[in-house]
Every structure is written in C-alpha cells, then in structure tokens.
Copies of this chain bind each other. A is one copy, B any other.
C-alpha cells in the first residue's frame, strides 16, 4: 500500500464523516434538500455583506501587472499593518505588522503555528471536547495531543491542565468562542490560565506557547467579549480567519497574531513565516488578501445568530435536552438522551436531521448542532428533535443499542 500508515488510519477513522456526508446527500436526493435538516457543518449560511462582495469584485478587476503574482510569504505589508491596527484598537496591545502573518484560513494558521513550535515527540494540550481535527494537526508535525478534560460547564479545568504539563509540553491549544460548545472563556479563566502557564513554563524551563484559535472571536452574544490572549500571556499567538466572521470560508484567508512579549520574538516570527512557506501555503491567496484590507470590520450580522440561538435553545430545552447556554460561535453541544451518541444521531437521522456525534470531539454522550443554517431549517427540524428525544426516553438504552 502506498499510503503512510497514519494517513491510512486517519482515513479509516474519518470514514464515518464520509458516510455521514454520503448518507446526507442520499437523504437530500431522496427527500428533497429542503426536507433534510442539515446541522452537520460549520459552513455559514449568511451571505457576506455587500461591502465584502464589492471589495472582492474590485480586487478582481484591478489591472496592475503582477497583481496575481506572489505576495510576500508573510502577506501584503499594508494588510498586515491593518490587521495589527485592528488588534491594537480592540485589545489595547501594541502589535505592529511584524507580529502578523497572513495565512490560508485559521486551519492553515494552526498548522503553521504548530509546525513552528513543536518538535517531534513534543506534547500539545487540547481541552475536551476539542475541535475534531486538532489531533490531526498536531500529528501532522510529529506532536502528541494530550487531551485534558474540562469542567462540567466546559470551562478549562486549571488543575487538570496543571497536572498534564510535562517537560515535553510545547503548547496548549484553546478555542473560545468554543467549537463545539459555544462557551466563551472569560477574563478570569484566561488570567488563571496565564498565571499557571507562566509558573509552569519557568518550572519546566521552556516557554509553553498558548495558541488561541479564535475564528469566532467576533461572533459573541449579549455583549460578551473575548478577553485578549495576547495581553494576558506573553508567549501566546492568536489565530483567526475571515471565514466565519465575514462568511467567506472558501477563500482561505486568516492570520496569526503573535504577542509582542513572545520569547525570542524575531526568531519565532521568522519561524512562522518560514513554516507558512514550506508547508506549501507559500502565502495566503493574493486576491483575498487584496480584498480584505478595506473590509476588516465588515462582518456579518451577528444578531442573526443570536436570535437563532435564543429560539433554538429555548425549544431544545423545552423538549428536555440538556445543554449549556452558548455565549458565542454557532454551535450547541447537548447531551444525548441515550448514552451512545452515535445511536441517538441515528434516531435524529430517521427524522432527516443531520448532526455530529460527540465522539469525534472526544466527548461521547453528546452531539453537535451547527445552527449557521436558515431559520426555516431550524423551525422545520423542531418536531423531529422532539420526537427523537421522546423515542430515546421510551426505549431502554440496552434494547436501543441492540437494535442498531
């Protein structure tokens, strides 16, 4: 077999994702796409605002020679400067363009960050439930994912993190607003985490890098604010994208912002830029870079997601689902009313509702609902959500498991 063993293993592992998609497609063909309620993907349904579309069109129409040629590996200087200025304003921290690398989305950024700070065999801490692909990103660069449980409300368990740090700990990767839970880590949590990392870094004699994955940073509700990671902890980098905030995930644009307090900052930035180049990104797509500068603040209407959260949360709670009240992003991560999440996801699928079992996020007994979908999809699904929990409660779980 020409396939590397880890890749073969990962494809095996992700066949369920593929089966899920294939079955989703089959259901849509069979029943009509409008009769299937697809909550399985974080692909935002909202259209980019007009200013963003206009800016893309304008960038595409520029006729200057070389406009489609290579940009610097770190990105266009004027875009890096604009991103730095935005962060400076939002977080009150003095970052300039030399702390910014434009990347192919947050996913590209995460791989670049991990490649830069992880030696083969090093450990990277992630918090359970984690975004389902984090373990792959860490493995890409020879790292070991150390999966640390969170508290009952999905906030970081500092004691558990403390206990998981070893001399091999290169980094901890967090995401807030969280995918899959929607939880936002508050100021106090971040301050506690920073203190812990400062203490343990000095103890193990290496700077533990805090990588904060923040593609949902501006998608928060009720005025909740995401505290500044760069401010809180010197050896930090935040990763973000325009995918969710601007509804252009297909155009693959994001960035890494490095704290100016980073240990050995110049060399770390050189490492990030080199990794961006040699991992094969070379640089973020030129046209998206050109389009982005003028529309950094032209994000989608977050109140739409908030309205959906309110409505959908209420309905799910009324049906008896146990879930936390998300403060951001566009996900719910309820408990499944049956111990086996895959079984319950099947019950939903019988009602043409597509969701993702929590097992993929490292937390069985839960499932993820992505509500970046039209209101009609939510409304149309409610009956099915109610039926499914009723069926789950009616049937003893042992019997259900045998039936699957």
Contact = CB atoms under 8 A, between A and B. Distances in A.
Interface of A: 1-8, 10-11, 14, 41, 43-45, 47-48, 53, 56-57, 59-61, 63, 65-71, 104-105, 107-112, 115-120, 122, 133, 136-137, 140-142, 170, 206-207, 209, 235, 247-252, 262-264, 267-268, 270-271, 274-275, 277-288
A105 B280 contact: yes
Contacts of A117: 2-4
Contact of A60 (B5, B57, B110): B57
A276 to B, nearest CB: 10
A281 B68 contact: no
Nearest to A122: B4
A194 to B, nearest CB: 15
Nearest to A68: B248
Contacts of A209: 2
A49 to B, nearest CB: 12
Nearest to A288: B285
Nearest to A258: B2
A251 B287 contact: yes
A1 B267 contact: yes
Nearest to A4: B119
A34 to B, nearest CB: 14
A277 B7 CA distance: 12
Contact of A264 (B2, B109, B251): B2
Contacts of A137: 278, 280
A11 B43 CA distance: 36
A112 B7 CA distance: 11
Contacts of A119: 4-6
Contacts of A264: 1-3
The 10 closest A-B pairs by CB, nearest first: A250-B286, A60-B60, A111-B280, A108-B280, A68-B248, A136-B278, A285-B285, A107-B280, A3-B271, A7-B271
Nearest to A76: B250
Contacts of A10: 274, 278
A68 B119 CA distance: 35
A351 B41 CA distance: 57
B115 A140 contact: yes
Contact of A282 (B6, B107, B118, B288): B107
A251 to B, nearest CB: 6
Nearest to A3: B271
Contact of A115 (B4, B53, B69, B108): B4
A56 B48 contact: no
B56 A287 contact: yes
Contact of A263 (B2, B11, B252): B2
Given A104-B280, A105-B280, 20 more contacts: A1-B263, A1-B267, A2-B206, A3-B116, A3-B117, A4-B170, A41-B70, A56-B68, A56-B287, A57-B57, A60-B287, A67-B250, A68-B249, A68-B250, A104-B281, A104-B282, A137-B280, A250-B283, A250-B286, A252-B282
A66 B45 CA distance: 7
A11 B252 contact: no
A45 B68 CA distance: 10
B250 A8 contact: no
Contacts of A3: 116-117, 264, 267-268, 271
Contacts of A4: 115-119, 122, 141, 170, 271
Contacts of A120: 120, 142
Contacts of A251: 68, 285-287
A110 B280 contact: yes
Given A11-B274, A120-B142, A285 B252 contact: yes
Contacts of A47: 65-66
Contact of A249 (B69, B104, B267, B270): B69
